[in-house]
Each structure stands twice: as C-alpha cells, then as structure tokens.
Amino acid sequence: MKIDRFLKAALLGLAVSASPVAMMFATDAAANNLRVVKQGTSRTLDVPMNRAVVVESDVPFAELSIANPGIADISSLSDRTIYVLGKAPGLTTLTLLDAAGKLITNVDVRVAADVSEFKERLRQILPGEKIEVRTANDGIVLSGIVSSSSRLQRALDLAERYAPDRVSNLMSVGGIQQVMLKVRFAEMQRSVSKSLSSSLALNGSVLGNSVGVNGGSGTLNSSGGVGTALGGNVPSVNENAGALLFGFSAGNTQVGLLLEALETKGVVRTLAEPNLVALSGQEAKFLAGGEYPVPVSQDNGAITVEFKPFGIELNFIPRVVDKDLINLELEAAVSAIDPTNGFSVNGFEIDAFSRRETSTTVEMRDGESFAIAGLLQDDFTDDNSQLPWLGDVPVLGALFRSASYQRQQTELVIIITAHLVSPTRGEALSLPTDRIKPPTEKDLFLYGRTAAGTRTPKKGAAGEVAKQDFSGSYGYVLD
C-alpha cells in the first residue's frame, strides 16, 4: 500500500511539472497554424475622387471586400470586372478571393482629388507658366517658378476651387521684381505787371488868398511824392522803376507834377527729378529737403514745436503685375518755404509753404512714361483808382488817376517713368564725386583752384561719364 501511494504521488508530481511545457508546445503549434497571406499584392490603384474606375482581373474571383467603404465603394460587374468609385481622399485595400476562399490579390486603392481637369484649366488660364501639380493625401501641392506674384495668386485661387483649404504652395516668383521710379517735376511761371500813377500839387496864393491843393493817387509811392514834387526832388522811397517830375511856378503859385510808371517781367523755372528703387509690393520713401519748425499752442497754454517737412518728397508702392506690367501707387510733392505769405502770432514769425503734389495709382510697362498731372493757371488782376469826380475829367483827369494790372501764368507737368531693374557690380556705377577731390593748400591759396585735379576712371559707366565735362550728364547712367 505504501509503495502504491508513493508511485501515485510521483506520477502526480511528474504530471504537474510537465504541464507548462505541454502548454508551450500547444501555443507554438497554434502560432504556426496562423500565417499572413501576402502573395499576389498588385500595384497601387489611383482613383480620382467622385470618379469611377473599371478594372479587370486575370483570374476569376468569387468574393470582393474593401477595407474602408468610406474611402472607396466597389461592385462586381462580372467574375473578372470590378467597378471602383472614389468617395473621399485616403488610402484603403481591395481584396479578391476565389471560390475556395483563397486570396487572389490585394490592391492598394488611393483616392485623391481630381487634378487632371485642374491641370487643363491651369494651362488654359496661365499658358507658358512652369507649374507642377501633385496630390498629397487629400490636398494639392503646387511647385515651380512663375513669372509674377499676380500669376502665383491666380494659380492658388484656382487650386482652392478644387481642394478648398488643402492647397500647399511651393511655388516661387521668378523674373525681375525691383522697380526704379523716375519722377520729373517741370514748372514754368511767367509774370507781368504794369502800373501808371500821377500826382499834382498846387501851393501859393491866388487873389491874396493862400492855396494848397494836393491830388493824385500815387498808391505805389509810400513817401508822399506830391509834397516832394514841390521841392523839385524825386521821392527818396520810390517803389516804381521810373519816376518823372515836373515843377514850375505861375506867379505866386507853385505847380508840381509827378508821374510814376512801373513795368516788371519775370520767369521762374523749377525742375526736380527724384529717383527711387523698391521691391515689388514694398513701400519706398524719399525726401530731399528739410523740416521747418512750427510752434503749436497746447490746451494748457504751453508752446510746443512741430516740424513740417519740405523739399522733394516721393512715396510709392510698386507691384509687378505680369512680367513687365507694373502697378504704381504713388505720392509725389515738391514744396518750398514762402516767406511772402507768412504771418506773425505771439511774437513768432511763421512762414508759409508753396507746394505742388499729386497722389494717384497707374499701370505701365517697363520703360514707359506717364504724365500723371498737369496744371495751367492764368491769374489776371486789373486795378483802377482815382479821386472822385476829378478823375472823370477828360484829359486832366489822368493826373488824378492811377491804373495797374498784373498777370501771372503757371504751367506744371509731372511725368513718371518706371523701369524693372536688377543689381549690378559697384564698379559699373559712377558718382558725381568720382572726378573731384579737395585741393591742397598750394592749389587753393597760390593758384586759386577749388579742386586738385581729377580722378579719371577708364572703364565702365564711370569712364564714360569721366570723358564729359561739367556741361554733360553726371550721376549714374541707366541703359
């Protein structure tokens, strides 16, 4: 009995100790029975979104399945033909099985946005542009080089119609994108002024009575020409260019006659040519002049100073629209201090400004010019003053009358020229100071020379300018 119980216990312990090994062998056997079928996997099938593709199988199939019906929908037309419809962008797997349930093949189905129509529209709208179109996941990728920023924006706007909010822009803008603007202000002012005035004076006694009569206008004479006419002298302060004096005595009566005449003519020529270069789409500013202090009274009674700029001003924003077509948004002005129209307040002398300015937006091609502003102004003033009643007397009335007229004509033209420019090497540019250097003490004091010779460049644009004298062109040369 004891031996029997011992044998049973030994067999039980052996069985318990051998059970994990048995389970391990069972698991390995089950794993070996499971295998992944990969044979027969075909290449990727590209299906446009919302489009259908019909594919054929070389081997008859009995069963079809799609991994994600939300990406693509399938249906069998026969035992060899499959209808695949793209529904949403993405990647899924199409599986074909035969009648025995064995795998025939797996097909990767990629559904993307339809770019064939987009490519065709792109070629129609932007011919000649080297734009490459690709699909990425559920979007469109654009790459390549376009001729202008406006065409780049057109391509992006068109792509948004096919893939809203899913367009990646890898394009760059080629060509010249820097614009040089040349502005020319040309103004001519002509003025003519004429005046004629007379003064008559009588002083003495007639029939035992004293007589003193002063008549005439003489408004341009601030010294009292009538009184000095009796003394036989031309007035010491006389604004007129010509004064004629007559004086004689008739018995005890002295007669004085002063004729004053004035004729002035003047011509003023104003010319300014500011040039400025800027990148397409960026604002550029130019000011050659200064700032004038203007006192400003504050609410608390304090006086502060504000500075008003004057001189030659130019602000513009260029945009290269299409190859050599340039859109210009510009403001240009020429101003100067005008003391004749100033005024005085609280002990401050404040001058006025004469100013010519324009603000506009135009389009032009490279090298073209535009007259963006012009002014024709003709001011005429006629003045006639006289003493009442006496000035209406025929012939003698001219002695009690003065007449003057002023006429001022102004003609202003503003012309702009735009150029597409690119940088060049520094030695190709010439400066106004390249030919002149300061004199030595010997040249200045002994010979009276204001410059000690010239430095003469031999090559490039600087050499061409150096061949000219001061009557020629200076500055940089634009080909």
Kindly report, residue by residue over 53-75, the tens digit of the pLDDT: 999 888 889 999 999 999 999 99
Question: Mean of the pLDDT values across residues 258-282?
Answer: 82
Contacts of 60 (CB under 8 A, 6+ apart): 79, 80, 98
pLDDT at residue 128, rounded to an integer: 82
Over residues 91-115, the pLDDT tens digits come to 899 998 888 888 888 888 988 877 8
Higher-pLDDT residue of 250, 349: 349
pLDDT at residue 176, rounded to an integer: 77
Is the CB of residue 75 less than 8 Å from the CB of residue 65?
no
pLDDT band, residue 35 (cuts 50/70/90): low
Q: Which two tokens stand for residue 56?
A: 């054929």
pLDDT at residue 239, rounded to an integer: 54
233 pLDDT exceeds 60?
A: no
Over residues 358-374, the pLDDT tens digits come to 899 999 998 899 888 88
Rounded CA separation 356/196 (Å): 34
CA distances from 329 to 133, 148, 156, 469 (A): 34, 18, 25, 37
Is the CB of residue 320 less than 8 Å from the CB of residue 419?
no
Rounded CA separation 412/377 (Å): 9
pLDDT at residue 29, rounded to an integer: 44
pLDDT band, residue 27 (cuts 50/70/90): very low
Question: Mean of the pLDDT values across residues 188-213?
Answer: 67
pLDDT at residue 317, rounded to an integer: 93
Q: What number of other Cβ atoms are within 10 A of residue 244's Cβ? A: 11
Is the CB of residue 257 less than 8 Å from the CB of residue 198?
yes
Question: Mean of the pLDDT values across residues 406-435?
Answer: 81
Q: Which CATH architecture has domain 43-112?
A: Sandwich (2.60)
Helices (H) and strands (E) in the chain, counts: 6, 21
Question: Mean of the pLDDT values across residues 231-259?
Answer: 59
User: Which strands make up the sheet holding 45-48, listed edge to edge?
Assistant: 45-48, 103-112, 90-97, 63-66
225 pLDDT exceeds 90?
A: no
Q: What number of other Cβ atoms are within 10 A of residue 105's Cβ? A: 16
Rounded CA separation 127/238 (Å): 78
21 pLDDT exceeds 80?
A: no
Over residues 293-331, the pLDDT tens digits come to 888 888 887 888 889 899 889 999 998 887 778 999 999
Identify the CATH number of the domain defined by range 115-173. Answer: 3.30.70.1770
Q: Which two tokens stand for residue 11?
A: 């067999």
pLDDT band, residue 463 (cuts 50/70/90): low
Instruction: Report the SS3 class of residue 2.
Output: helix
Rounded CA separation 149/131 (Å): 13
pLDDT at residue 331, rounded to an integer: 92
Weakest-pLDDT range from 37-41, 146-150, 460-464: 37-41
pLDDT band, residue 247 (cuts 50/70/90): low
Helix residue spans in 380-448 (DSSP H): 441
- E strand or H helix at 120: helix 116-125
Question: Mean of the pLDDT values across residues 254-279?
Answer: 80
Bridge partners, residue 45, by sequence: 109
pLDDT at residue 301, rounded to an integer: 76
Nearest residue to 363 via CA among 328, 312, 317: 328
Q: Where are the domains of the chain?
A: 43-112, 115-173, 268-382+402-421, 426-466
Nearest residue to 317 via CA among 362, 371, 366, 273: 362
Nearest residue to 279 via CA among 332, 314, 326, 331: 326
Instruction: Report the SS3 class of residue 227.
Output: helix
Bridge partners, residue 65, by sequence: 95
Is the CB of residue 241 less than 8 Å from the CB of residue 229?
no
Q: How many CA atoms lie within 13 A of 412 on its CB side?
A: 17
pLDDT band, residue 1 (cuts 50/70/90): very low
Nearest residue to 266 via CA among 194, 315, 322: 194
Nearest residue to 399 via CA among 205, 264, 256: 256
Is the alpha carbon torsion for 90, 91, 93, 94 positive or negative? Answer: positive
Entry pTM:
0.56
